[in-house]
Amino acid sequence: MKITDVRCALFGQNLVVRITTDAGIDGLGPIEHTKPYIKPHVMYLREALVGEDPTNVERVMLRIRQRGAFKPWGAAISAVEIALWDIAGKAAGVPIYKLLGGKVRDRVRIYNGSIREPMARFEPEDFAASVRKMKAHPYGFTMVKQGIGFHSGMKDVGPEFHYGDKRPNPFHSWVSRGMLSERGLKHIVACVAAMKEELGDGIGLALDCGPGMMPQDALRLAKAVEPLNVMWLEDMITGDYSPYVNADVYRDVTMATSTPIHTGEQIYLRQNFKDLIEKHAVNIIGPDPCDIGGLAELKWVAEYADLHGIMMAPHGTADGLIGLAALVQVCAALPDNYIAFELPSGKPDWWHDILEGLPDPIVKDGFIDVWDTPGLGVRFNVDKAREKLAEEDKGFFD
């Protein structure tokens, strides 16, 4: 079998990579909905892929892996890797998890990261109302995540949240970094306490915090919320589009608090997790399969983390429904340090009409049952999906 073409098209908010072969088998790879500009990078890789055997996944990846980098530039590489596994699974007639070592669990726990309504205000009662809606969702979440601090609008409203400057940014509205004021720290803690009171001890609360905090504030926050037993504090110092790890600084915080510390969504390749894991710099890592370099790369890092007593909670909020399928496949095969993955959504809602193969409902009681369809186990309804293509992408399914 040989790769005959590489294509990339935008469906709603998510780019999708499609790799075709001379055997009539194709594979799909997802890209986060925040990265519509990655299409030229995908097409740049085409010359290195056409003519290769897609079922030799690692051999093909060796041709392109050096062309990626920290988020967002690992996206194209990751999407290709996932599409290759989709082809390999279909060719073998097995789901991808069988090719990654087999199924460890029959269902995978998820946590809510993408199903939420915009908040107009950022007071404790507003955060409580937000998680109240998550708690009532029919998916029956056992864990939810909420943005606070520099990963929320609270940094932009109210006086003197922190002592740094607000910098306008076309990608993230405002980018802020600096020392928290006493008022700012107390406000964050009050909002966390309100959410925990609403959720009780039956639903775990994870907190996405940054990046933007200075290390001393990260530690002050971690110590202040110790009595609340939150699942983790994520990306306080680095994260999102920060192209570095800062393991030594994270370790100083992690070793001084009982609150679990989490990072990793921006990191590309196993080599860049080495310091975080070997130095026990964090308690939990959260790579995204659409940024780390794909499914096999994520599984390798999870296994190495497990050897060091570090937990795994993969990122995925922007990966779309094809990304959801990829996360189910890899998380089914992860070791026992797996906690849950961040549930992506289809945006717009018509994604659920153009993609077939997902269970209905997708989530039951906070879990997704692992399906046994070959490859990713999802496919486009071509007739419906073709209607959603822009004119320049009309050849995507040809």
**What are the tens digits of pLDDT across the range 328-354?**
999 999 999 999 999 999 999 999 999
Same domain, residue pair 166 and 308: yes
Same domain, residue pair 126 and 198: yes
Same domain, residue pair 183 and 260: yes
Total number of domains in the chain: 2
Same domain, residue pair 64 and 173: no
Q: Domain containing 41 — which CATH number?
A: 3.30.390.10
- Residue 173 scores a pLDDT above 60: no
What's the predicted TM-score (pTM) here? 0.97
Same domain, residue pair 310 and 368: yes
Same domain, residue pair 82 and 171: no
Q: Domain containing 324 — which CATH number?
A: 3.20.20.120
The mean of the pLDDT values for the chain is 96
Same domain, residue pair 331 and 199: yes
pLDDT at 164: 84
Same domain, residue pair 36 and 147: no
Same domain, residue pair 29 and 157: no
Full residue range of the structural domain in which residue 115 is found: 98-376
The predicted model gives 99-117 an average pLDDT of: 95
pLDDT at 155: 84
Same domain, residue pair 152 and 34: no
Same domain, residue pair 53 and 164: no
pLDDT at 364: 98
Same domain, residue pair 319 and 391: no
- SS3 sequence of the chain: CCEEEEEEEEECCEEEEEEEECCCCCEEEECCCCCHHHHHHHHHCHHHHCCCCCCCHHHHHHHHHHHCCCCCCCHHHHHHHHHHHHHHHHHHCCEHHHHCCCCCCCEEEEEECCCCCCCCCCCHHHHHHHHHHHHHCCCCCCEEEEECHHHCHHHHCCCCCECCCEEEECCCEEEECECECHHHHHHHHHHHHHHHHHHCCCCEEEEECCCCECHHHHHHHHHHCHHHCCCEEECCCCCCCCCCCCHHHHHHHHCCCCCCEEECCCCCCHHHHHHHHHCCCCCEECCCHHHHCCHHHHHHHHHHHHHCCCEECCCCCCCHHHHHHHHHHHHHCCCCCECCEEECCCCCCCHHHHEECCCCCCCECCEEECCCCCECCCEECHHHHHCCCCHHHHHHHC
